[in-house]
Amino acid sequence: MKIFISNLKIVSLLAVVLPFLSFAQADNHESKAKYVILISCDGLRPDAVEFLGKKWAPNFYKLINEGAHTHNARTDFDYSITLPNHTCMLTGRGVTGETGHAWTENSTPKLGQILHRNKKAYVSSIFDIAHDHGIRTGLFSSKDKFILYDLSYNERSGRPDSTGEDNGKDKLDYYHHNDKTEELIKTFTDSFSEKPYGLSMLHLRDPDTSGHAHGWDISSRSIYIYAVAKMDWIVGKILEFINSNENLKGKTALILTADHGGRLETKTHLKSDHKLNYTIPFYVWGAGVGAGLELYEINQTTRKNPEETSPKYDSPNHQPIRNGDAGNLALSLLGLPAIDGSTINAKQDLKVQKPKE
């Protein structure tokens, strides 16, 4: 009789507790990395990496051979310029439409300009999700207009933290700008060594700067190709930094993409319907990432290689891989949920490992 009562109590207790346990398990995201670094190479064309090849771009090819990649990712459909596309990366939204982030300008914001005021609604970002889960965030930029994100997610403009412990409204723990990418990298690694960032973004301007000055010239000894080779050198410095630090080695993932390509003839990238402008690379490497994988091949049920086209967001066929996938992928690798309000990779279904058979 005592045993019966005891078992009855256990059954009753389980009836109350199990639904909550099931909910907690459903909401639990498996962490694949402790640190994620999102690198944006402004104006990087994938055919420039291919032109350099393994000999002259060994670090890009290290990402390719040891990680998952595609050389046929896409920018936003409507805009192939810097700030709108970086906002896609950070918010997981396209630019236009009811669900878009609505930021179309591409210059240093004027006094009072922030993402939420422009949208007339709060626009959540990767910084919100990571910071509210107690993860340190950082943004290191080589263009001063990226102050937009510090202004939009500081202690005045950020929203209250309603996730667990209150980590405050300032979603971006550290912001730093330096036009000189060599100095920017040193600041980044020094700052990271002092106090690591669980989620950080690094913006590198060189390919875009050289492209606007001399054209996106894919030929030997061009200024643009030199700038892309410099990006390879910087990637190598980041990989060396990770692999030489026992706290980071095996625990860090990199996502590298671009905001747009560019054209030799016009020295611009304004036309979002031109394939040289909307075709970009997308690399993922490190903790939680398979080796030697092509992203379209392992994502056939959710993504479709667009070949030379640029599909709209409402295309009935599978979407291409976009730079806007990066934000929710970064959070997924950290074991965090998707950005609220996001529409690109909102299901966090972009795989970076071979599906289990």
Give the CATH number for residue 102: 3.40.720.10
Phi-psi bin for 240: left (phi > 0), alpha (psi -120 to 50), beta? alpha
pLDDT: is 317 or 39 the higher one?
A: 39
- Has residue 212 got a pLDDT over 50? yes
Whether residue 323 is contained in a domain is answered as: yes
Residues 329/342, Cβ–Cβ less than 8 Å: no
Stated as kind and residue range, the H or E segment containing 3 is helix 2-27
Mean pLDDT for the chain overall: 92
Residues 140/176, Cβ–Cβ less than 8 Å: yes
- Has residue 14 got a pLDDT over 80? no
- Has residue 73 got a pLDDT over 60? yes
Question: Nearest 5°: phi and psi at 267?
Answer: 60, 30
- Mean pLDDT in residue range 189-211: 98
Coil/strand/helix, residue 202:
strand
Residues 239/192, Cβ–Cβ less than 8 Å: no
Question: What is the structure's pLDDT at 31?
Answer: 78
Token pair 């064309």 is at which residue? Answer: 45
Question: What is the structure's pLDDT at 4?
Answer: 35
Whether residue 354 is contained in a domain is answered as: no
- Mean pLDDT in residue range 201-223: 98
- Has residue 317 got a pLDDT over 90? no
Whether residue 223 is contained in a domain is answered as: yes
Q: Which residues contact 35 (CB under 8 A, 6 or more apart)?
A: 196, 197, 198, 199, 200, 248, 251, 252, 253, 287
Stated as kind and residue range, the H or E segment containing 204 is strand 199-204
Residues 307/57, Cβ–Cβ less than 8 Å: no
- Has residue 84 got a pLDDT over 50? yes
Question: What is the structure's pLDDT at 357?
Answer: 66
Question: What is the structure's pLDDT at 356?
Answer: 79
- Mean pLDDT in residue range 301-329: 95
- Has residue 72 got a pLDDT over 70? yes
Question: What is the structure's pLDDT at 166?
Answer: 97
| pLDDT > 70: percent of the chain | 92
Query: Of the candidates 282, 205, 202, which has an alpha carbon nearest to the alpha carbon of residue 242?
Result: 202
Query: Of the candidates 155, 188, 202, 206, which has an alpha carbon nearest to the alpha carbon of residue 45?
Result: 206
Question: What is the structure's pLDDT at 15?
Answer: 38
Note down the domain range covering 203. 35-333
Whether residue 261 is contained in a domain is answered as: yes
Question: What is the structure's pLDDT at 23?
Answer: 32
Residue 289 burial (C-beta neighbours within 10 Å; 0-12, 13-18, 19+): buried
Question: What is the value of pTM for the model shown?
Answer: 0.92
Whether residue 1 is contained in a domain is answered as: no
- Has residue 2 got a pLDDT over 50? no
Whether residue 189 is contained in a domain is answered as: yes
- Mean pLDDT in residue range 177-183: 98
For the chain, give percent helix, strand, coil, nearest 5.
Answer: 40, 15, 50
Question: What is the structure's pLDDT at 29?
Answer: 66
Torsion angle in degrees (nearest 10) through CA of 18, 22, 24, 25? 130
Q: Which residues contact 147 (CB under 8 A, 6 or more apart)?
A: 108, 109, 175, 177
Structural domains counted in the chain: 1
pLDDT band at 12 (very low <50, low <70, confident <90, very high): very low
User: Tell me: the pLDDT tens digits for 104-121?
Assistant: 999 999 999 999 999 999
Whether residue 83 is contained in a domain is answered as: yes
Q: How far apart are CA 356 and CA 335, in angstroms?
A: 19
Whether residue 17 is contained in a domain is answered as: no
Residues 172/154, Cβ–Cβ less than 8 Å: yes
Q: How far apart are CA 86 and CA 324, in angstroms?
A: 8
- CB atoms under 10 Å from CB of 128, counted, come to 25
- Mean pLDDT in residue range 234-247: 97
